[in-house]
Amino acid sequence: MAALARSVLVTGSNRGIGLELVRQLAASPRPPQHIFATCRDPKGPRGKALQELAAQHSSIKLVQLDTVNLPSIQGAMQAVGYHLKDQGLNLLINNAGISSHATLHSLDSQEMLDVFATNAVGPLQVVKVYLDLSGFSCLGRCSPVGIRNFCHSWSQGREGLSCSRAAVINISSKLGSLGLCLRVPEAPMYPYRASKAAQNMVTRCLAAELQDKGILCVAIHPGWVKTDMGTEQALLTVEHSVRGILTVLASLSQDNSGAFLDWEGNSLPW
């Protein structure tokens, strides 16, 4: 089986789905050469499981990245760029997210804004900084040495889009689907649902704008997964969900540009 990608970056990879993505990528028969496992505090106690995993796999590089902190995103992307030198990053997985169970009665505006910042603005900022540093959207602006060719593989043309070439995968949620608007009375979750709907629009806009630059953009719903966010009551183990996600990622082509899929590859309504 071909490698999914030569280089992969995962946000929020110290626990839950992000940690399992890194674990399964590193353990795959043809692992990526570079797995940039990013999280808010890679050296601290919250990064312990990731530190232990990185000690077993030389492909895993720990990088500090807080998706709501612009200097942190810039620092992470520069570190990745210097590491890859003239090779491009193939696959960027925006996984970091937070939940909120606020109801119509309990929600306050600051909570709503915080959830938006992480779930909708964060993934967009990560992509934007990446593109800026790679020179895609800042033609004529000076790129630091070593970063200029950062996006080597993110070249022109929609033909042959794939995760092994250049892709942005936004981990979304079925709860953000306007078409489904699932289980609202039992799980109102206004901030979370609205932020994931906004993230979905970000994915659609990125897909439309970037496909001619050779970049595939797709939203993936991981299922209801047993993590800190999904709780023990969830239906899927994290291993099962991530195995499905990686199988779906390996199958993506230009036909999936701008798609919203679940962990089994089924299409979801926006």
Identify which of residues 76 and 135 has a Cβ nearer to ligand NAP in the complex: 76
Shortest spacing between CB 180 and ligand NAP, in angstroms: 13
Report the distance separating Cα 46 and Cα 48, nearest Å. 6
Shortest spacing between CB 241 and ligand NAP, in angstroms: 8
Shortest spacing between CB 152 and ligand NAP, in angstroms: 26
Give the interface with ligand NAP as residue ranges (CB under 6 A). 11-12, 14-18, 39-40, 46, 66-68, 95-98, 118, 122, 171, 173, 221-222, 224-225, 227-230, 234
Q: Which amino acid is at 38?
A: T
Identify which of residues 3 and 68 has a Cβ nearer to ligand NAP in the complex: 68
Shortest spacing between CB 210 and ligand NAP, in angstroms: 20
Identify which of residues 118 and 164 has a Cβ nearer to ligand NAP in the complex: 118
Report the distance separating Cα 12 and Cα 50, nearest Å. 11
Identify which of residues 97 and 191 has a Cβ nearer to ligand NAP in the complex: 97
Shortest spacing between CB 53 and ligand NAP, in angstroms: 13
Shortest spacing between CB 60 and ligand NAP, in angstroms: 15
Identify which of residues 16 and 31 has a Cβ nearer to ligand NAP in the complex: 16
Identify which of residues 222 and 244 has a Cβ nearer to ligand NAP in the complex: 222
